[in-house]
Chain A
């Protein structure tokens, strides 16, 4: 669903031309989604604070040849092209296929890698060698992928779409699926290592990856093409693909290079790191080593949520006051705002703020856009919470305050607000905790917060449960002080009310 919406938004906002990349001097900023997993760009299982992958090696080399320093930028895969158009980085490189549709949005370098879809089955399977044999069988693949389209076009196959490749191969080995069709590099890293599985048959389909460059930067495209071409002729590309164990028949055809592959050192090290059995002590140490990374994500989450909530409280208070005490046309607009924002998804609002507004010349940094998005969204909810709080205070309290000579503002601040706050605090705390978790949505606009770190780590280690529990605990811990604070405030505002 998320990818679908993202696709629609790319179509909506992507068409307009974006400002040219404004990279820092001497740096080539390249974007990928490290949640996509091995062997593209992923966290090194031996040292999770490091990014590795064949695309990391590729971009290091390309940047080096351009006399630049490569700098990795994390962004959600769906958002890689909108972010490129926005000028958040110079290029996007993450298994992005060169297609006609995308060519209207961005420039592509010459292909740096070609591959195909690979069929993987259980070891004992003898009869399934090609898609033609697969009628009536159950296939697993990634949602919205080329493989999914091929399977559906084939017809007669029951296709199950997944969000993550690790679970697909697990379901194949435990018998839920009859076969898996996925990109060859993924099969190499996630399917073949499983002793119960094997890859079979001829290559299916064609995939050609290119480095995406903004439409406005043909000069960079040229330079990258030169770098790629020299890397190809000097055997540098082949060396990288050999090391990662993903050199394949299509590459051999494309490069006219049929010599046998050299040792896949990176693949072997990866498999060794993943396959080693651990004592519980090592396992605990392993989990402990994730904590600093998760904590860094948690700090971002906390910053986003705290600033977002401050904004939401201020905005909500303003909206509630305008609706209750100003009324008229401003009151009507406050109501329309509340209804419109509450009635539309936060994800789309974030997309609009981050990728849409640059079209009218407003380009916000990811943090500012995230905070504004969260603040504006939750402000609409807070408005209703405060309105309920204000309405819970009897009118006679306002009469009493006015009759003592206070003006309406003084009466609001000193008499109505403290009483309304008491009523509003519990739902406000609810909203804050909810915001803390909703803040994970901002990973679509290049922010790396707690959930994103979790996704990256989990896809590197295939460990969604253990790291998931660790992440959940982190959320719980950072939410706790606010729950406590709210309870203390509630107590303060409940003074003299014995029964409530």
Chain B
């Protein structure tokens, strides 16, 4: 109870019971897993519709799909990695759509839960990206990748005492952690914000004297819903572009 509001505990906001599989099991399927499933189904349906009647002048779903792919290709891959990075486009497109659809469920009625407001999704995606850019580094530079990554060439030798631990922490520890936490924290914060204003609206609706404040609270709820749509897109973009930057930096020693 805060200022007379019955605010639900955070467990109630982010934890969901399994739809099948026992609680605590490794394969328990809950609402978050379902949203992840919808992410691949929705993305696949969108691409199938977009690819169904391909024309030189795109319209409808084809236009949406091509615009999205062109946005990632031109705005992320070519900007951060150049033409050599085109082979990583499928990974980055998958990442973008998986995160975007997972995030957008924050504002979809009857769901109202972004999949990435749970740490599991961002952590897995960050770990995959971490493994991926290390693999790319090994593929392009061989075992020297680790040396180049933690001891960049051109640095005065005396500074290696400082640079090596910093680069090691930055490249191999902080990067995946920051990727995961940034996405998770933003989506969780947005989710809590929307829940807070929803609870406030409900409470004000039932409290007769405070009902005068209800329109303001409701307006904030609507505005924040729009804001969260933007955040959903922005976080998908940020995660994808950072993944591209990390992969691109692994391709060449001088980066």
Partners in one complex: no
